[in-house]
Homo-oligomer: A and B are copies of this chain.
Amino acid sequence: MKPAETILLDHGSGGRASQELIKNIFLAQLDNPVLACLEDSALVETGAGRLAFTTDSYVVDPIFFPGGDIGELAINGTINDLAMRGAKPLCLSLGLILEEGFPLADLQRVIASVRTACNRADVPVVTGDTKVVPRGKGDKIFINTSGIGLVDPGLDISSRNAGPGDMIILSGSMGDHGITILTQRAGISLQGNLRSDTLALHRLVQKMLAAAPGAVHTLRDPTRGGVATSLNEIAAAAQVAVELDENQLPIKPEVGAACEILGMDPLYLANEGKCLALVAAEHADRLLALMRSLPEGADAAIIGRVTKGPAGRVRLNTAAGGSRIVQSLTGEPLPRIC
């Protein structure tokens, strides 16, 4: 296939096109061992401790949605990227790109959400920047949040550490955020309580790490591209296979209904307050019970396991008793979900 010569919406959807952009342009030019890990945060040895460092831009449309807004999403999302390396979040930056004409009342509302999310998570914004672009050269507000965390010496949470026999825990229901944004954009109003799951997971993660030292091998928050894409990336990084049980996938009834209407597969929908934890089998039940005892993990479920191979393959045992391959998100432009 001839490669695209311009940026397509698909390049921003977190699936295969995004990965090709990363490989062909970013890694091809900027390659270094830390960047090449392609984890949720970079780990940097400073001589004065180990730091986790991460960045994310938020361009979600609409900026206000049931369950949250772009400000809350930006704070929680970057905290989660730090948490997925086992880091204790230390501080955040806040970079705004505002469109001329954006109402100051909306800016106030977004920054109030930033404050609430920071206070709730106990992680401060310590530095910021604001740029303004003319009307029609941006879209209301884009937010970049970068974050720094501290990682205990010896702690090694990484996609590459997923090993055969590991059990895969998902901390709660799938697709809540993605389907909320998509129904808002489609103008669909449904019965029930569709809302974003935006939530900071650093406390949940710290409790898991403390409860079973060494048992948590891999953590990933399945945002763009969803559970399917995250597991494909993990399987490729660790050179293992993954087996999922469709019967065990936690999906809220209203999310399932909305997915049917819109023709979406919840495995590919973004989550903003969930993590995948790949853990040693002998600790899986205990960790699951711990997660379920916490509000962030009340609906956690063991959704599958890691097997030896073939490397990079994700297979789903269907509810009907069959089995199918689950690939990374491909060719579905689902941009501006986060």
Which A residues have a C-beta under 8 Å from some C-beta of B?
A: 3-13, 18, 21-22, 25-26, 29-30, 32, 34-35, 41-42, 44, 46-49, 51, 53-59, 61, 90-91, 93-105, 107-108, 111-112, 114-115, 118, 124-134, 136-139, 142, 144, 146, 148, 150, 335-336
Contact = CB atoms under 8 A, between A and B. Distances in A.
Contacts of A57: 95-97, 129, 131, 144
Interface centre among A42, A54, A131, A144, by most chain B C-beta atoms within 10 angstroms, is: A131
Contact of A146 (B3, B55, B136): B55
Counting from the closest, the 5 A-B pairs by CB-CB distance are: A48-B49, A12-B132, A55-B93, A146-B146, A144-B144
A90 to B, nearest CB: 6
Contacts of A134: 9, 335-336
A274 B8 CA distance: 38
Nearest to A35: B126
A130 B18 contact: yes
Contacts of A126: 32, 34-35, 42, 44, 53
A119 to B, nearest CB: 10
B7 A100 contact: yes
B18 A90 contact: no
A7 B101 contact: yes
Contacts of A7: 98-104, 107, 132
